Amino acid sequence: MKDAIPRLFADITAKIEDMHMIAVEGQRRDNAPDMQRVLACQLRIGIAALDTSLAKLKRRLGDDHG
Number of domains in the chain: 1
pLDDT of residue 1: 58
Full domain range(s) for residue 24: 4-61
Q: Per-residue pLDDT for 64 more than 80?
A: no
Under 8 Å between Cβ of 19 and 50: yes
Closest CA to 21 of 43, 5, 6: 43
The pTM is what? 0.85
- Examine residue 45 and state whether it is found in any structural domain, yes or no: yes
| Domain contains 17 | yes
In a domain, 28, yes or no: yes
Domain annotation covers residue 37: yes
9-59 residue pLDDT tens? 999 999 999 999 999 999 999 999 999 999 999 999 999 999 999 999 999
Tell me whether residue 66 is in a domain: no
Q: Report yes or no on 16 lying in a domain.
A: yes
**Distance separating alpha carbons of residues 44 and 2, to the nearest angstrom:** 31
How many residues in the chain?
66
Q: Is residue 43 situated within a structural domain? A: yes
Q: Please give the pLDDT value at position 16.
A: 98
